[in-house]
Amino acid sequence: MRTAFGVETVRTAERELMARLPEGALMQRAAAGLAAACAELLGRVYGKRVVLLVGGGDNGGDALYAGARLARRGAGVTAVLLAPERAHEGGLKALRAAGGRVSAAAERDIAGADLVLDGIVGIGGKGGLRPAAAQLMGAVRESGALVVAVDLPSGVEADTGEVLGDAVRADATVTFGTYKPGLLIDPARERAGAVRLIDIGLGLPAVPELEALQYADVAALLPVPGASSDKYRRGVVGIAAGSARYPGAAVLAVAGALRSGAGAVRYVGPAADAVIARFPEALVHAGPPSRAGRVQAWVVGPGLGDDAHGREQLRDVLAADVPVLVDADGLRLADPEVVRARTAPTLLTPHAGEAAALLGVERSEVEAGRLAAVRRLAAEYRAAVLLKGATTLVAGPEGGPVRVNPTGTSWLATAGSGDVLAGLAGALLAAGLTAVDAGSVGAYLHGLAARLAAQGAPVGAQDVAAAIPAAWRDVRG
């Protein structure tokens, strides 16, 4: 599991560790890791031109000490001091001793750089870049230099992933001690480039702010049938989706569910003919969901429409005493009180627009502050919530770490891919995963399937569904 901790926790761990170490030791560890990462990115250090953007705090100190190490290996290193009177004294001395110099013409030095090290501000930052730093960003962009952020791209919010003003756009970020939420959540994540973690020996608490499943975690959660499995023990997922107007949503949700480890898929709704034509293995039923036969979890909502029939189906499913995944129209029509009162697990899967409607805020507010939005939704609806989008997040109703999906790809931004995810995660619920596991494993496989299907070219939702088995194979090695 990859984990991320917020600034307060990092500060506490840092204080505890610093009390046991000689002064400056932590910064030296950080700078050594940073310099090594820069050297690797540069290929050859000797003769390369490195510009350090140095703010008034320890983030600038890291940059200066790393710059000194690069200067000792033969790089021409120049420091641009954004707060000259507060620049880290020891770092500056070390840089000068190693043959580095302070810039007298920032834009000219930046124009000739091979690598720009962003040490403007780290976890001590609030708000976007200030004007003096923001002004240099044009020159940085035009230089074509590699941009490496120290700890975080300056200008992003470490704890939330928000970007409240101008921010550095890095090719790579070298972060210390732990990932910070902002390195994993968009829009900030996108500014960080490839993130590398340097272990500096911080002792961190057991429960992180944020966690991201890795291959091994997903592999351990996948419902693989055993010798004594039968279709019922593997789990039957019911899909109440589609309408005369949107039969395709039903087909796509069934397509996702069929490749996701459940033993059988039952479909209930007006798109039965379309479903059977495409998937003869689906079990279809014409009556209400409660009469469809045994299921271990329901998916309700994709393409449901909002006529009386759709509303009735939703009511019926929400009354079932099994896990329920509510998506799309189901989210729009569900009575919040009924959702809150459910005793079996509920997983809501809104995109930003649906989440905004559920919270009564603007969509832009959800997109800018995804972490706060998913937590608030989970608390207000007493349900697990999977917030879809550029960074998919999954929160449980009891608080605890939020899961962030590491496999997302913007190729998924195609009509119907959410329906596939609903079927996929619903089948995982039926197979017995908790709502948070079903949501996060579902999102993981969904993103991976899209990547495998797309390989850098556009794909449709059906292609994503068809690639789910390949994603399974990839995860199981």
Ligand X SMILES: NC(=O)C1=CN([C@@H]2O[C@H](COP(=O)(O)OP(=O)(O)OC[C@H]3O[C@@H](n4cnc5c(N)ncnc54)[C@H](OP(=O)(O)O)[C@@H]3O)[C@@H](O)[C@H]2O)[C@@H](O)CC1
Ligand Y SMILES: Nc1ncnc2c1ncn2[C@@H]1O[C@H](COP(=O)(O)OP(=O)(O)O)[C@@H](O)[C@H]1O
Could you tell me the maximum CA-CA distance found in the chain, to the nearest angstrom? 81
**Contact call for residue 421 and ligand Y (CB under 6 A):** yes
Sole binder of ligand Y in the list 67, 161, 389, 439 (CB under 6 A): 389
CB of 22 or CB of 280, closer to ligand X: 22
Binding mask 129-148 for ligand X (x = CB under 6 A): xx--x---------------
- Angle of helix 417-430 versus helix 247-258 axis, rounded to 10: 50
Sole binder of K ion in the list 14, 58, 114, 118 (CB under 5 A): 118
**Contact call for residue 153 and ligand X (CB under 6 A):** no
The per-residue DSSP string of 318-383 comes to HTSSS-EEE-THHHHH--HHHHHH--S-EEE---HHHHHHHHTS-HHHHHHTHHHHHHHHHHHHTS
Q: Give the integer Cα–Cα distance in Å for 467 and 424.
A: 12
- Partner whose binding site includes residue 157, from ligand X, ligand Y, K ion, none (CB under 5 to 8 Å by kind): none
**Contact call for residue 126 and ligand X (CB under 6 A):** yes
Sole binder of ligand Y in the list 49, 88, 259, 351 (CB under 6 A): 351
Q: Give the chain's radius of gyration (CA, Å).
A: 25
User: Which residues does the annotation place in the binding site for K(+)?
Assistant: 59, 118, 154
Contact 71, 77 (CB under 8 A): yes
Residue 7 Cβ vs ligand Y, minimum distance, rounded to whole Å: 26
Residue 25 Cβ vs K ion, minimum distance, rounded to whole Å: 21
Residue in the structure block whose two tokens are 């610093």: 18
Spatial CB neighbours of 408, under 8 Å, sequence gap ≥ 6: 390, 391, 392, 443, 447
Using CB atoms within 10 Å of the CB of residue 77, give its burial: 0 to 12 exposed, 13 to 18 middle, 19+ buried: buried
Nearest residue to ligand X, scored by beta-carbon proximity: 122
Sole binder of ligand X in the list 45, 66, 123, 371 (CB under 6 A): 123
Q: Give the integer Cα–Cα distance in Å for 171 and 321.
A: 49
Total binding residues toward ligand X, as defined by CB under 6 A: 30
Residue 183 Cβ vs ligand Y, minimum distance, rounded to whole Å: 17
CB of 154 or CB of 296, closer to K ion: 154
- Residue among 255, 233, 230, 251 nearest 242 (CA): 251
Applying the rule CB under 6 A, the residues between 218 and 277 that interact with ligand X are: none
User: Helix/strand/coil (H, E, C) string of 25-86?
Assistant: HHHHHHHHHHHHHHHHHHCCCCCCEEEEEECCCHHHHHHHHHHHHHHHCCCEEEEEECCHHH
- Residue among 260, 263, 302 nearest 281 (CA): 263
Binding mask 238-277 for ligand Y (x = CB under 6 A): ----------------------------------------
**Contact call for residue 217 and ligand Y (CB under 6 A):** no
Segment contacting ligand Y by CB under 6 A, of 145-153, 155-163, 261-269, 386-394: 386-394
CB of 289 or CB of 416, closer to ligand Y: 416
Sole binder of ligand X in the list 9, 14, 114, 300 (CB under 6 A): 14
Contact 385, 359 (CB under 8 A): no
Sole binder of ligand Y in the list 214, 341, 415, 473 (CB under 6 A): 415
Q: Which DSSP symbol is given to 401? A: P
**Contact call for residue 211 and ligand X (CB under 6 A):** no
Q: What angle do CA 61, 65, 69 make, to 5 degrees?
A: 165
**Cβ–Cβ contacts within 10 Å for residue 469, how many?**
15
Q: Which is it for strands 210-212 and 2-4: parallel, antiparallel or unpaired?
A: antiparallel
**Contact call for residue 151 and ligand X (CB under 6 A):** yes
- Partner whose binding site includes residue 130, from ligand X, ligand Y, K ion, none (CB under 5 to 8 Å by kind): ligand X
CB of 119 or CB of 303, closer to ligand Y: 303
CB of 119 or CB of 408, closer to ligand Y: 408
Q: How far is Cα of residue 340 from the mean position of the Cα atoms in its chain?
A: 26
Q: Which residues bind ligand Y (CB under 6 A)?
A: 328, 351, 388-390, 392, 408-410, 412-413, 415-419, 421, 446
- Tell me which residues touch ligand X (CB under 6 A): 10, 14, 26-27, 30, 55-60, 62, 120-127, 129-130, 133, 150-151, 155, 176-177, 200, 202
